[in-house]
C-alpha cells in the first residue's frame, strides 16, 4: 500500500472525538491520511454516496439515526470502501451486529490508540480490496461460463461472435468490440462482427470494414505469434487498424489474438472511452475468453463448411436421382411407345390403304376413315413426343451453329397467335419482352428441336398467366472459361423464359419434367417439359427451375458453347418416284402388320412373300435363291423371338451381300448411336411405316443396289 494519502471520512457528532481522531491520525508516521469530518447522519450518508473516500469511520451514536443503520444504508447503496464502526464501551451487542451487517471492523472508543487505529484502517482497506478482487474474479469466471455456455449452443460463426460481443458489452462492460478473422492464404484480416454500445455518442462513427486488410498493414503482426496488445492510450497508437478508434473517441483498447492450434484464427479488439481503461485482470480475462471463443468460432466455421458440403451433396444426390428417375421413366415411355406403335401401325396403315385404293367408298366411309386416320395420327404424334423425351441424339441430326437470339426472336413471332391473339380474345394481355445479350456466342445444336422446346416453354408460360402478365426471354453468358494468360471465353450460355404467372409449388417443381406429369387435366398431356428435357439433354445442357407459388417461374436452359466440329444434315425427303417392281421378302411376327405391309407393297406393284419368324424368313430366302428367283430386297422386323432381325441380317449379308436389307422397328431412333447398331442393314424404317417413307426407303436401296453401292 504505497498510495500517497488515504482519504478518511469521519461521521461523528462529538467534536472532541473528531479532534482526538485527527490527532491520532496526525501521530501516524508519514502524514498519510487526509481526514474529512461530518457531524450528522444525513450528511454522512450523502458523503458516502459520493464515493470519494478510501475508508469511513462511523460513530454508533449519531443523534438522529445510529451508526449501524447508516452502515446498512451505505452497504445497501453499494458502498465499496470499508466502514469501521466506533462504539462505546460495553456495546458488545452492537459490535457483533455491526460485523454481521458488513462493517470492516469496530473500535471501542477510549480503548484504541493511534497505532491501533492505523492498523484497523489499513487492514480494513486491504481486506476490502482482496474481497473486491475476489468478487471480480468470481464475476469474470461466471461471465466466462455464461459466454462459453451461450456460444457452445450456437453453430454459426456470426451468431457466436455476436453473442460474445453482446455479453461483453453488457457485463464486462466494454464500449466497443470487434472481431477480425484471419485469412491464412491471403494473409489478411477481414472484419466479421462489431458492436458499439448503443447509447455511445460515437455510435454512427464506426463503420464496418468491407475490405480485408493485409495483416502486415494493420500493425497487429504480433498477434500472429499469439501476443496480446494493450494500448492504454489509443491516441498514441502505432497500429493503423487501431487509429480508427481515435476518431471514435475510444481511449484505450486491448487486442487479443484468437488462436487455434497455435495458428491465428482471428483478432478480438475491445475498447473503452477511458484512457488506461483496462486492468491487468481484465486483459487476462479477455485472453482466456478468447481461447474459448477461438475454439467455438473454429468449430462453428467447420460446422458451416460441413453443412454446406452436405447440402451440396444432397443437391447432387437429388439431381442424380431425378436424372435416374427421368431416365427410367423415359425408358418406360419408350417401351410404351413401342407397343403403341405396333398396335397403331395396322390401324393407320389400313385406313390409309383403304383411302388410297378403294374407289367405291361411300362418302360417310371416306369421312370415317379420315377420322380414323386423323385420330391415329394424333396418337402417333403423342408417341413421337414421348419418344423424343428419351431418344438419344441421332447421328444424322444436323448440328449447326445456332444463334439463340435469332432463334428466340423467331419463336416469339411464331407463337404470337397463341400469346397475343388468343389472350386478347379472352380479354387479357400477355406481353413478351426480350432481353438479349448482343454478344451472345453461338451454340451448336439442332434449330428445329430448340425451336420446339422454346415453343413449349412459352406455351407453358402463357398457361401459367390466366390473368395475363409478362414473359421475358433473356439470353446471357452463364459462365466463362479462363485461359492461362487471364483471357476469358464464354463456356456456357443461358436462355431464360421468365413469366409472372402462378408459379409452381415444390411438388410440381419436382415432378414437372416427368412425362405425363400435368396439372392441366384434359388440357395438358404433360409431355411438353419432358420433351424440353430431352432436347436439352441432347444438347448436353441442363435445366434449372426457379419457381414459387404466386411468384412466377423462371425456366433456365444452360448450354455449353462449343466449336462446330462436324456437321451433318438430314437428307430431305425426295420427290416421290415410282420404284421398279421388286421381289420382296417381308418378315414380321405380327400378323396384322404382315398383312398391311403386303397390301401396301403389292399395291405398288411389288411381289411380296411374307414370313412370320426369323427362321422361316431365312428358309424362304434360301429356297428362293436356290430356285434361281432370289429376292431383290428384304424387310425385316428387329424384335422377334429366337432369330431376331439383327442376327438374320448378319446371316443374309453373308450369304448374299448385294441384297438390300431394311430393318423396321419402333426403336429406329434409339438404335442409332448404340454400340450394337446392326452392321448389315441398308435402311431403317420406323413403325408404323408411312407409305411414303416406305416407298422412299425402297427407292433409295434400289438405287444403291443398281449403282453397285452396296458393300
Ligand X SMILES: Nc1ncnc2c1ncn2[C@@H]1O[C@H](COP(=O)(O)OP(=O)(O)OP(=O)(O)O)[C@@H](O)[C@H]1O
The residues binding ligand X (CB under 6 A) are 456, 460-461, 464, 499, 501-504, 508, 512, 517-520, 524-530, 553
Q: Which is nearer to ligand X, 64 or 520 (CB)?
A: 520
Q: Min. distance of Cβ 319 from ligand X in angstroms? A: 18
Q: How far is the CB of 699 from Mg ion (least distance, A)?
A: 38
For every residue of 317-374, DSSP letters joined together read HHHHHHHHHHHHHHHHHHHHHHHHHHHHHHHHHHHHHHHHH-TT--HHHHHHHHHHHH
Site for Mg ion in 548-567 (CB under 5 A): none
What is the closest distance, in whole angstroms, from the C-beta atom of residue 527 to ligand X in the complex? 4
Answer whether 414's CB lies under 8 Å from 457's CB.
no
- Report the nearest approach of ligand X to the CB of residue 239 (Å): 57
**Helical H runs in 656-690?**
668-671
Q: How near is the Cβ of 699 to ligand X at its closest, in Å?
A: 36
Is 640:618 a contact under the CB 8 Å cutoff? no
Q: Cα dihedral sign for 92, 96, 102, 106?
A: positive
User: How many whole angstroms separate alpha carbon 112 and alpha carbon 89?
Assistant: 11
Taking CB atoms, the residue at the shortest distance from ligand X is 528
Choose the contact partner of 501 out of ligand X, Mg ion, none; CB within 5 to 8 A by kind: ligand X
Q: For ligand X, give the closer residue by CB, 333 or 529.
A: 529
Q: By CB under 5 A, which span of 402-410, 466-474, 498-506, 524-532 interacts with Mg ion?
A: 524-532
Q: Which residue has the cell 466463362?
A: 480
Measured from the CB of residue 556, what is the shortest distance to ligand X in angstroms? Answer: 12
In the bound state with ligand X, the residue whose beta carbon lies nearer, of 162 and 456, is 456
Contact in structure between 585 and 621 (CB atoms under 8 Å): yes
527 binds, among Mg ion, ligand X, none (CB under 5 to 8 A by kind): ligand X
Are 689 and 598 in contact by the 8 Å Cβ rule? The answer is: no
Nearest-approach distance from CB 454 to ligand X, in angstroms: 12
CB of 507 to ligand X, least distance (A): 10
Is 547 among the residues that bind Mg ion (CB under 5 A)? no
* 453 binding Mg ion? (CB under 5 A): no
Q: Which stretch binds Mg ion (CB under 5 A): 261-269, 417-425, 528-536, 580-588?
A: 528-536
DSSP state letter for 4: S
Q: Name the residue nearer to ligand X (CB basis): 322 or 607.
A: 322
519, interface contact from ligand X, Mg ion, none, CB < 5-8 Å by kind: ligand X
Beta carbon of residue 452, minimum distance to ligand X (angstroms, whole number): 11
Q: How far is CA 183 from CA 187, 266, 303, 534, in A?
A: 5, 8, 18, 45
Q: Which does 499 bind (CB under 5 to 8 A by kind): ligand X, Mg ion, none?
A: ligand X
CB of 524 to Mg ion, least distance (A): 6
| Residue 528 near Mg ion by CB under 5 A | yes
Cβ-based nearer residue to Mg ion, 258 or 513: 513
Cα separation, 147 vs 134, in Å, equals 20
The interface region with Mg ion, picked from 55-63, 222-230, 455-463, 692-700 by CB under 5 A, is 455-463
Q: Which does 429 bind (CB under 5 to 8 A by kind): Mg ion, ligand X, none?
A: none
Cell numbers linked to 192? 466479421
Cβ-based neighbour number of residue 708 at 10 Å: 7
Q: Please say which residue, 554 or 647, places its beta carbon nearer to ligand X.
A: 554
Q: Closest CB to Mg ion belongs to which residue?
A: 528
Question: Near Mg ion by CB under 5 A, which window of 93-101, 227-235, 344-352, 523-531?
Answer: 523-531
Q: Would you state the torsion angle of the CA atoms of residues 328, 334, 339, 343, taken in this order, to the nearest 10 degrees?
A: 150
The window from 53-61, 65-73, 476-484, 520-528 that contacts Mg ion (CB under 5 A) reads: 520-528
Least distance from ligand X to the Cβ atom of residue 504, Å: 4
Contact status, residue 458 vs residue 419, Cβ threshold 8 Å: yes
The stretch among 160-168, 201-209, 240-248, 460-468 that binds Mg ion (CB under 5 A) is: 460-468
Which residues of 184-228 form beta strands (DSSP E)? 188-196, 213-214
Cis peptide before 688 (omega within 30 of 0): yes
Give whichever of 103 and 411 is closer to Mg ion, judged by the CB atom: 411
Residue 8 or 529: the one with the smaller Cβ distance to Mg ion is: 529
Place of cell 398391311: 596
Q: What is the distance of C-alpha 471 from the center of its chain? A: 26
275 or 545, CB closer to ligand X?
A: 545
| CB of 459 vs Mg ion, minimal distance in Å | 5
Query: Is residue 460 within the footprint of Mg ion (CB under 5 A)?
Result: yes
Q: What is the dihedral of CA 242, 246, 247, 248, to 10 degrees?
A: 90
* Maximum C-alpha span of the chain: 157
517: partner contacted, choices ligand X, Mg ion, none (Cβ within 5-8 A by kind): ligand X
Nearest CB to Mg ion, comparing residues 162 and 553: 553
**Rounded Cα–Cα distance for residues 140 and 33 (Å):** 33
Give the Cβ contact number of residue 162 at 10 Å.
Answer: 19
Q: Which three cell numbers stand for residue 445?
A: 445444336
Closer CB to Mg ion, 294 or 326, in the complex: 326
Decide whether 34 or 463 has the Cβ nearer to Mg ion.
463
- Among residues 453 and 666, whose Cβ is nearest to ligand X? 453
Strand order, beta sheet including 469-482: 430-435, 469-482, 488-499, 553-560, 542-547
CB 108 within 8 A of CB 88: yes
Q: SS3 for 302?
A: helix
Q: Is residue 515 a contact point for Mg ion (CB under 5 A)?
A: no
| Beta strands 583-587 and 633-637, pairing class | parallel
Q: Which residues contact 670 (CB under 8 A, 6 or more apart)?
A: 334, 387, 390, 391, 392
Least Å from the CB of residue 392 to ligand X = 20
Q: Residue numbers of the site for Mg ion (CB under 5 A)?
A: 460, 528
Amino acid at each position: 500500500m504505497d498510495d500517497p494519502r488515504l482519504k478518511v471520512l469521519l461521521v461523528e457528532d462529538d467534536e472532541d472525538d473528531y479532534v482526538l481522531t485527527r490527532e491520532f491520525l496526525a501521530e501516524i508516521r508519514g502524514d498519510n491520511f487526509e481526514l474529512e469530518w461530518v457531524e450528522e447522519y444525513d450528511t454522512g450518508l450523502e458523503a458516502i454516496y459520493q464515493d470519494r473516500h478510501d475508508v469511513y469511520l462511523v460513530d454508533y451514536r449519531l443523534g438522529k439515526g445510529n451508526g449501524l443503520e447508516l452502515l446498512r444504508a451505505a452497504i445497501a447503496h453499494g458502498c465499496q470502501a470499508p466502514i469501521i464502526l466506533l462504539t462505546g464501551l460495553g456495546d458488545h451487542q452492537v459490535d457483533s451486529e455491526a460485523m454481521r451487517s458488513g462493517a470492516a471492523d469496530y473500535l471501542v472508543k477510549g480503548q484504541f490508540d493511534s497505532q491501533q487505529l492505523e492498523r484497523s484502517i489499513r487492514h480494513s482497506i486491504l481486506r476490502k480490496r482482496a474481497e473486491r478482487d475476489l468478487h471480480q474474479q468470481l464475476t469474470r469466471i461466471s461471465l466466462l461460463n455464461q459466454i462459453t455456455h451461450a456460444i457452445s449452443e450456437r453453430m454459426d460463426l456470426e451468431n457466436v461472435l455476436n453473442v460474445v460481443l453482446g455479453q461483453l458489452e453488457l457485463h464486462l462492460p466494454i464500449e466497443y468490440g470487434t472481431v477480425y478473422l484471419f485469412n491464412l492464404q491471403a494473409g489478411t484480416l477481414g472484419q466479421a462482427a462489431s458492436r458499439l454500445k448503443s447509447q455511445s455518442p460515437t455510435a454512427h462513427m464506426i463503420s464496418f470494414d468491407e475490405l480485408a486488410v493485409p495483416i502486415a498493414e494493420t500493425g497487429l503482426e504480433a498477434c500472429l505469434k499469439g501476443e496480446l496488445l494493450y494500448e492504454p492510450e489509443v491516441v498514441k497508437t502505432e497500429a493503423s487498424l487501431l487509429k480508427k478508434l481515435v476518431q471514435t473517441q475510444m481511449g484505450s483498447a486491448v487486442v487479443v489474438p484468437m488462436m487455434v492450434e497455435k495458428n491465428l484464427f482471428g483478432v478480438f479488439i475491445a475498447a473503452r472511452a477511458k484512457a488506461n481503461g483496462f486492468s491487468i485482470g481484465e486483459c487476462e480475462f479477455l485472453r482466456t475468453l478468447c481461447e474459448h471463443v477461438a475454439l467455438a468460432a473454429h468449430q462453428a466455421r467447420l460446422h458451416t463448411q460441413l453443412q454446406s458440403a452436405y447440402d451440396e451433396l444432397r443437391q447432387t444426390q437429388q439431381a442424380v436421382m431425378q436424372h435416374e428417375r427421368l431416365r427410367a421413366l423415359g425408358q418406360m415411355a419408350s417401351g410404351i411407345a413401342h407397343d403403341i406403335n405396333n398396335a397403331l401401325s395396322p390401324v393407320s396403315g389400313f385406313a390409309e390403304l383403304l383411302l388410297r385404293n378403294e374407289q367405291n367408298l361411300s362418302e360417310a366411309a371416306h369421312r370415317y376413315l379420315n377420322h380414323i386416320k386423323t385420330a391415329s395420327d394424333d396418337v402417333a404424334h403423342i408417341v413421337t413426343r414421348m419418344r423424343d423425351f428419351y431418344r438419344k441424339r441421332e447421328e444424322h441430326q444436323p448440328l449447326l451453329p445456332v444463334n439463340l437470339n435469332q432463334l428466340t426472336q423467331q419463336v416469339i413471332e411464331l407463337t404470337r397467335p397463341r400469346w397475343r391473339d388468343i389472350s386478347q380474345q379472352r380479354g387479357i394481355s400477355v406481353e413478351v419482352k426480350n432481353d438479349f445479350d448482343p454478344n451472345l456466342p453461338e451454340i451448336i445444336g439442332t434449330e428445329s428441336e430448340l425451336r420446339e422446346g422454346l415453343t413449349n416453354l412459352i406455351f407453358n408460360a402463357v398457361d401459367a398467366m390466366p390473368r395475363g402478365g409478362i414473359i421475358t426471354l433473356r439470353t446471357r453468358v452463364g459462365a466463362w472459361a479462363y485461359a492461362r494468360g487471364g483471357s476469358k471465353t464464354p463456356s456456357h450460355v443461358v436462355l431464360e423464359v421468365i413469366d409472372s404467372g402462378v408459379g409452381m409449388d415444390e411438388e410440381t417443381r419436382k415432378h414437372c419434367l416427368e412425362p405425363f406429369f400435368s396439372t392441366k387435366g384434359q388440357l395438358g398431356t404433360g409431355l411438353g417439359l419432358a420433351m424440353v428435357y430431352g432436347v436439352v439433354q441432347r444438347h448436353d445442357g441442363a435445366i434449372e427451375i426457379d419457381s414459387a407459388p404466386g411468384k412466377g417461374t423462371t425456366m433456365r436452359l444452360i448450354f455449353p458453347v462449343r466449336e462446330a466440329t462436324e456437321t451433318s444434315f438430314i437428307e430431305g425427303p425426295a420427290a416421290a418416284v415410282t420404284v421398279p417392281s421388286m421381289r420382296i421378302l417381308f418378315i414380321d411376327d405380327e400378323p396384322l402388320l404382315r398383312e398391311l405391309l403386303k397390301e401396301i407393297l403389292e399395291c405398288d406393284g411389288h411381289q411380296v412373300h411374307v414370313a412370320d419368324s426369323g427362321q422361316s424368313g431365312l428358309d424362304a430366302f434360301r429356297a428362293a435363291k436356290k430356285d434361281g428367283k432370289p429376292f431383290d430386297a428384304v424387310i425385316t422386323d428387329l424384335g422377334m423371338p429366337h432369330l431376331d432381325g439383327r442376327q438374320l441380317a448378319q446371316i443374309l449379308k453373308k450369304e448374299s451381300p448385294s441384297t438390300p436389307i431394311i430393318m423396321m422397328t419402333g426403336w429406329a431412333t434409339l438404335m442409332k448411336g448404340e454400340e450394337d447398331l446392326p452392321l448389315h442393314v441398308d435402311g431403317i424404317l420406323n413403325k408404323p411405316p408411312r407409305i411414303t417413307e416406305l416407298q422412299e426407303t425402297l427407292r433409295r436401296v434400289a438405287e444403291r443396289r443398281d449403282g453397285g453401292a452396296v458393300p
